[in-house]
Amino acid sequence: MLKFKTNTVAAVICSFFMVTSLDSLRAAEELTQATVVESVIAGIQNARAKCYKGEFTCSHDTLSAPDNKKIKNLTYTYLVEYSPSGFIARSMSPKHDSHHVDGGNPKYYFSVGNKSKGDPYTLDEVNEQQRTTSGLKRMHGHLLPILSPFTVLNATFLDDFMSSKDLVLSDIHDIQSDGMRLVKMNFSFINPLENKINKERIVDGSLTLRPDYNWTIQDYKLNLLIGDNTDVKHTSSLKIEYDKTNKELPRKVIVEAITRGANLRKQIWNYTFNAISAPEKPSLAEYYIPYYGLPEYTPPRSSLTWVYASIFLAAGIVLVLIAYLARQRGSQKSRM
């Protein structure tokens, strides 16, 4: 009887280790660059298809070297919303009553503001091309915390990041953190990946993702090139703390940027959400200028449009004239 039990226990233990080993081997086989890239793209596209809305407060510190002495501090509060249909970033500063709103939709990006609460809004900027002006750079900065689960450097969506043909992933492996499965990897680019807003180029770094939550970002560290001076080294890191109830929503985002050259400079952004949600329906009207009491934006006609219109008009006049002359000649011949 004892022998039977011993054999049974041994068989169970053996089976357990076989299953565990098979699972480990299967996980190792699945964590290749091809499978990870495919999974991340599908997951991030699913995350991007949702609407997110929240109010955050940011504390932005600039520190000097080598004593990390705080030389500048900015604090601001914003109400932001992102959806596939557009976005808004509305200033909620308690220091003054004026309001500034950056917004966007598939047709254009805009900035509006007023001097005091209750005053009509005025149009500060409108642009049909994304990622070209300082206003757009500022706007993407305000959206950073709510986009942080699925963007790198606040402007490159993670699925676009993973789609780069120059991307090389290495040391892909599972880790456990607070009972959650995470996937950590190192990466590099054969040709540095350009961030068009800030003109930064991503060289290499590390990335930790959450496969159970659409492969969203847990943290990353990037090595960057800015401009043509390769002697100055730049690093950017990000870490996200997620909501305990809804783990798809960020609650706190910490960004740290360090520049190493003749002088060391460090900047830290601490974003804390006072409220955040994932509404089923976005605030579509707020993505357009008329919501703020201003006329809808009409794109200006280019000079080429007028040239083409003039050519077609002239051609039309010539055709009508030719037809008229031909008709006149025909009538003259019939009389003869």
SS3 279: coil
- Amino acid in position 198: N
Per-residue pLDDT at 49 exceeds 70: yes
Per-residue pLDDT at 16 exceeds 60: no
CA atoms within 13 A on the CB side of 168: 7
pLDDT bracket for residue 335 (50, 70, 90): low
Query: Which residue range is the domain that position 98 belongs to?
Result: 23-292
Which pair of tokens denotes residue 123? 């149009």
State which H helix or E strand residue 167 sits in: strand 167-177
Q: Is residue 153 part of a domain?
A: yes
Which pair of tokens denotes residue 13? 């233990």
CA separation for the pair 49, 176 (Å, rounded): 28
Q: Is residue 323 part of a domain?
A: no
Q: Is residue 318 part of a domain?
A: no
pLDDT bracket for residue 248 (50, 70, 90): very high
Which pair of tokens denotes residue 256? 């740290």
Q: What is the pLDDT of residues 164-186, one digit of tens each?
A: 999 999 999 999 998 899 999 99
- For residue 136, the domain's CATH number is 2.50.20
Residue 231 has a pLDDT of 74
Per-residue pLDDT at 40 exceeds 80: yes
The highest-confidence range among 34-48, 198-212, 248-262, by mean pLDDT, is 34-48
pTM of the model: 0.78
Q: Is residue 321 part of a domain?
A: no
Q: Is residue 157 part of a domain?
A: yes
Sign, Cα dihedral of 245, 248, 249, 255? positive
| Percent share of the chain, pLDDT over 70 | 74
Higher pLDDT, 214 or 307: 214
pLDDT bracket for residue 241 (50, 70, 90): very high
pLDDT bracket for residue 14 (50, 70, 90): very low
Higher pLDDT, 53 or 133: 53
Q: Is residue 297 part of a domain?
A: no
Q: What is the pLDDT of residues 96-118, one digit of tens each?
A: 556 889 999 988 989 999 887 78
Q: Is residue 99 part of a domain?
A: yes
pLDDT bracket for residue 312 (50, 70, 90): low
Residue 70 has a pLDDT of 74
How many domains does the chain fold into? 1
Residue 17 has a pLDDT of 44
Higher pLDDT, 273 or 323: 273
Which letter does DSSP use for residue 23 in this model? H
Q: Is residue 303 part of a domain?
A: no
